[in-house]
A and B are shown apart, each in its own frame.
Chain A
C-alpha cells in the first residue's frame, strides 16, 4: 500500500472530511496541483473548482470555492468557504453563486475587474466540470 497522509476538508460550518489519503488534487489560484505525502510545505489560495481526494475508498470529489489549502509533508488541510460533495451540488446553488460572481464582475472596475472576471470564468468552468 502506498504512503498516506492526513487530509482534512473543513468549511466554516462543518468538517466535511477527515481521513488518510494517497493524494489530493487541489484547484489552486495559480493552477491545479496535486499534493502527495512528503510534499514540500505550501500554502495556496483556492479558486472555484473541483477537489479530488484519492482515499482508501476510491476517489471522492468536492466542489469548493474560496479559501486556502495548507500542505505540509504529513498532512493537507483545505479550508474552503463553501464546500460540498459534487453529487450534492444543485443547479440552483450554482445559479446563485454564478449570479453573485456576475454581479461582482459587472460592478468591479480597474484591477478588481480582471479578478472578478476570472472568478466568473472559474465558476463557469466548475459548472461544466460538475455537470449541473
Chain B
C-alpha cells in the first residue's frame, strides 16, 4: 500500500463524519440543494466531496463499485485503508462511484426488492460542475420546485417509474454535494 493511501482521511473522524453525515442527510432530504463537504483529501481523480461521502457512509459491510478512471490502485488503496469497504461488481454494490458515462449501463445496479426496497445501490456521480440550475425537480423534500444541473433526464425519469424500488444518487464536484433520491420527479425539459 502506497504511503499516499494512508493520508487524506478525516483528522477528527467523529466530528467530521458527523458533519458530513448531516450534509449527506440534508442533501438527500432536500433534493436540489447544494452542500459543501470538506475534510477529505483523497487521491485524484476522486473528488474531495466523493471522498468525504465514502469516509462517512462506507464500511466493511458496504461493497463499493468503482467505475471508470476512479478505479485505480491509488483510489482503491485509499478506500481500503480508510473505510475497509470491499470492492464488488456493479450488481452487488451498495455504493458505486464514477463519472456519469462510466456508470452506464445503469440497469446493472441493485434497485431493491418489494419487501426490502432499501437493498439498493447509491450512486456517487462525479460531475465536472454542479449548480442549482437546469432541470426542474418536484417531489418530497421540495417546496414547489428546485433546479439541479443533472447530466440527463431520461435515466432519472425511468428510475422514478420504479418507485418504491430504484437507486438513489449523490452528485459530487470538487467539494460540492447534491442528491437526487428515487422519489424525486424530474420534469421534462
A and B are interacting partners:
no
Interface residues of B (CB under 8 A from A): none
